[in-house]
Amino acid sequence: MQPYEVKELIRDITVWKRGGQRAPHKPLLLLYALGRLMRGEPREISYSDVDRDLRELLIDFGPGRRSCHPEYPFWRLQNDGIWQLANAEDVVSRKNNNDAKKSELIKCGVTGGFTPRSSRLCKVTGLWFRK
């Protein structure tokens, strides 16, 4: 495992774009999760914690919006191969797309975090940066 592999994993995530505007949701969630890993906290994070903490980050660092939706990056990052969810089998999706409802994520006690491989790479890279 090499530090450049983490950069490749993160570089390849799908980020919503329109014109010159890019959504900060996934990058902020990844930074939040990475910070937790570097502090020695568990790889998996409850959606309830993400909802509270990422909402604050989006308000502070995201573009001005009437509402924030931390559930979108939490759910959608699993499609990028860097993130996985647990307890998500019974989550009911929205009617118009495959996204999970916030209420379902909370009700089912869904947790998410870096995949085990991504987590190992992040930890190795974190140790590498500290040297």
Task: Round to whole Å and give the CA distance between 78 and 15.
Answer: 13
Q: Who contacts 46 (Cβ-Cβ below 8 Å, separation ≥6)?
A: 109, 110, 111
The overall longest dimension of the chain from CA atoms, in Å, is: 49
Domain-by-domain residue ranges, the chain?
A: 3-14+21-130
CB 114 within 8 A of CB 83: yes
Task: Round to whole Å and give the CA distance between 47 and 54.
Answer: 10
What's the pTM?
0.83
Q: Given phi > 0 = left and psi -120 to 50 = alpha, else beta, which region is 40?
A: left
pLDDT in tens, the chain (131 residues): 566 776 777 777 777 666 776 678 898 999 899 889 888 899 999 999 999 999 999 888 877 767 788 999 999 999 888 899 999 999 988 877 788 999 999 999 999 999 988 888 777 666 544 44
